[in-house]
Amino acid sequence: MRITCDPQADAMSIKFNNLPYHHTEQVTDLILIGLSENQDLISIELLRLSHCADGIQKIAEKYDIRETMHGKRECNCNEEI
């Protein structure tokens, strides 16, 4: 899995595998998914990420996200996990 952030685009992409990309489907106004020719999920793209900050903060307060990230204490948006 690879997570990348683009602050200028205000977006985050979560890529689950290296299957060949076929097309994108819009799930909501702010969520796009990348699919293979066989409709396997390749990636999720979250748009206008800064608008999710309150929700992400609430999750971070309830769960120790850093511990969830394979025991790592820090997460770099460009690192593979």
- Taking only the tens place, the pLDDT of each residue in 29-59 is 888 999 999 999 999 998 998 877 666 667 6
Give bridge partners of residue 23 from the DSSP assignment.
35
Domain-located, residue 76: no
At residue 51, the pLDDT reads 79
**Domains in the chain, number:** 1
Lowest mean pLDDT among 6-10, 28-32, 73-77: 73-77
Is residue 11 classed exposed, middle or buried when 0-12, 13-18 and 19+ CB atoms within 10 A define those classes? Answer: middle
At residue 49, the pLDDT reads 85
User: How is residue 58 annotated by DSSP?
Assistant: H
Q: Which domain holds residue 50?
A: 2-68
Mean pLDDT of the chain: 78
At residue 59, the pLDDT reads 63
Q: How far is CA 31 from the centre of its chain?
A: 10
